């Protein structure tokens, strides 16, 4: 096909972002971080005084912020009402609140529509990473990957991204990841799940380079 759409799903800390960005850069495709969009709407809710535990309030505000994603894998961007949100969406406050906001159907409907319009207009194709891309957002994707890794490996990777962590922080990171994944997997609206036709890649004992090579090979087989 002239364009190729790749869906990469999986829980937090499996290497989705690093893998997706590198694969997109190598193959000349766009890159969309859908978690960043859920984080962006969550950040807007928190800074706009919306109670993120109040589902009706979150639903009522779901259409309000303008969210724009830049899809260059070398320099992905995200803005909310024109303001750069790349820094603020990575705070602990946003990470703790995002699962509640992303579980609200009105939020998912709004963000899903945005994701489809970006993916379906990408000139050469795109790598889209998230939780429900292969199952719900882009069920006709040319290739679906589901990344997994042991809880220990995921926590170690996530801790490595943060700075100056000791052993007790590793345990806390593992607990926080487990809590977020449980929430994301058990929600009613479009939960984290592997599509039936997704290729599962267990990254526990693989280097990032090996995962990237594996996915690039799978994409090339589809082209």
Of residues 101-120, those binding ligand C5P (CB under 6 A): 102
CA distances (Å), 82 to each of 47, 78, 153, 203, 220, in order? 15, 9, 37, 36, 37
Measured from the CB atom, the residue of 28 and 70 that comes closer to ligand C5P is 70
Residue 12 as a binder of ligand C5P (CB under 6 A): the answer is yes
> Residue for token digits 């893998």?
19
Please pick, from the candidates 125, 135, 159, 184, the single residue that binds ligand C5P as defined by CB under 6 A: 184
Is there a contact between 154 and 13 (Cβ–Cβ < 8 Å)?
yes
Question: How buried is residue 85: exposed, middle or buried, by Cβ count under 10 Å (0-12/13-18/19+)?
Answer: buried
- CB under 6 A: which stretch of 32-40, 50-58, 155-163, 209-217 binds ligand C5P? 32-40
* Residue 28 or 185 having the CB closest to ligand C5P: 185
Among 40, 69, 80, 132, binds ligand C5P (CB under 6 A): 132
Radius of gyration of the chain (CA): 17
Give the C-alpha separation, 171 to 223, whole Å.
Answer: 42
Q: Which of 130, 155, 158, 215 binds ligand C5P (CB under 6 A)?
A: 130
Question: Which residues would be at the binding site for ligand C5P (CB under 6 A)?
Answer: 12, 34-35, 38-39, 98-99, 102, 130-133, 180, 184
């Amino acid at each position: 096909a002239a364009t190729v759409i790749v869906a990469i799903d999986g829980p937090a800390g499996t290497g989705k972002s690093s893998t997706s960005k590198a694969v997109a850069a190598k193959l000349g495709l766009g890159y969309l971080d859908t978690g960043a969009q859920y984080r962006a709407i969550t950040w807007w809710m928190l800074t706009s005084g919306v109670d993120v535990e109040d589902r009706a309030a979150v639903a009522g505000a779901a259409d309000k912020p303008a969210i724009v994603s830049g899809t260059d894998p070398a320099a992905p961007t995200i803005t909310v009402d024109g303001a750069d949100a790349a820094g603020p969406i990575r705070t602990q406050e946003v990470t703790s609140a995002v699962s509640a906001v992303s579980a609200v159907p009105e939020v998912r409907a709004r963000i899903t529509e945005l994701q489809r319009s970006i993916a379906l207009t990408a000139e050469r194709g795109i790598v889209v990473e998230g939780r429900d891309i292969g199952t719900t957002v882009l069920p006709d994707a040319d290739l679906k990957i589901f990344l997994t890794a042991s809880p220990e490996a995921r926590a170690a990777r996530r801790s490595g991204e943060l700075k100056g962590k000791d052993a007790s922080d590793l345990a806390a990171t593992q607990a926080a990841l487990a809590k977020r994944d449980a929430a994301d997997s058990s929600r009613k609206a479009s939960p984290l799940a592997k599509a039936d036709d997704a290729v599962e890649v267990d990254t526990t004992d693989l280097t990032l380079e090996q995962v990237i090579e594996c996915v690039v090979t799978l994409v090339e087989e589809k082209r």
